[in-house]
């Protein structure tokens, strides 16, 4: 297990910023690592990612060299005339990367987003899908 993995396990929620992005061009100063569930099916992988506050048009999904990158821009949410009484979580952009297995079919990746949950389906390449091998008799 690499130290990267360890950092992941101890990260409890997306309330923990993973990087400070000082660039003035960004709307949000903090970047958050969204929580994921990952499932493996016989013919595909499914990544479910919590991205509350992100609208589908501001989620950016890219694949390059077997690395899947998810970015989402989340603008700050506070209103004119309101002052904070209690702040228990931060609001900012989401960023997370995954190294994909060779069995994932890069061209077939598709994603949907509803209720603040991004669902990314990664089909497996044909060779990686389970198949029944017929046994020939005499």
Partner 1 sequence: MILRHLTLNPVSPVGPVMASMDRLFDTLTNAGTCAANGHVAPFVPAMNIWQSDTSYIVEAELPGFKMNEIEVSLLQNRLTISGRHAEQTESNEQGECIRRERRVGEFSRTITVPSQIDSERIEAHLDHGVLRVTLPKAQAAQPRRIEVRPSAS
Residue 47 CB burial class (10 angstroms; 0-12, 13-18, ≥19): buried
10 interacts with partner 1 by CB under 8 A: yes
Per CB under 8 A, 98 contacts partner 1: yes
Among 62, 75, 101, 110, binds partner 1 (CB under 8 A): 101
* Residue 79 lies near partner 1 (rule: CB under 8 A): yes
CA dihedral 68, 74, 32, 121 (to 10 degrees): -30
Residue whose tokens read 């994909």: 100
SS3 136: coil
Q: Can residue 78 be called a binding residue for partner 1 (CB under 8 A)?
A: yes
Residue 106 binding partner 1, by CB under 8 A: no
| Of 38, 37, 77, nearest in space to 55 by CA | 77
Contact flag: residue 103 with partner 1 (CB under 8 A): yes
- Near partner 1 by CB under 8 A: residue from 30, 73, 106, 129: 30
Q: Is 1 in the site for partner 1 (CB under 8 A)?
A: yes
Answer yes or no whether residue 99 interacts with partner 1 by CB under 8 A.
Answer: yes
Q: Which CB sits closer to partner 1, 4 or 136? A: 4
Contact between 19 and 92 (Cβ < 8 Å): no
CB 32 within 8 A of CB 18: yes
Binding partner 1 by CB under 8 A: which of 77, 107, 127, 135?
A: 77
């Amino acid at each position: 297990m690499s130290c990267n993995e360890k950092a992941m396990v101890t990260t409890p929620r997306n309330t923990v910023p993973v990087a400070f992005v000082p660039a003035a061009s960004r709307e949000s100063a903090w970047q958050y690592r969204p929580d994921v569930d990952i499932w493996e099916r016989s013919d595909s992988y499914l990544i479910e990612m919590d991205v509350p506050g992100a609208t589908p048009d501001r989620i950016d999904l890219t694949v390059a060299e077997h690395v899947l990158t998810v970015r989402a821009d989340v603008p700050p949410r506070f209103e004119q005339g309101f002052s904070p009484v209690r702040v228990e979580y931060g609001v900012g952009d989401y960023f997370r990367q995954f190294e994909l297995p060779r069995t994932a079919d890069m061209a077939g990746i598709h994603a949907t987003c509803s209720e603040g949950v991004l669902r990314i389906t990664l089909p497996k390449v044909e060779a990686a899908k389970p198949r029944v091998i017929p046994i020939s008799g005499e």
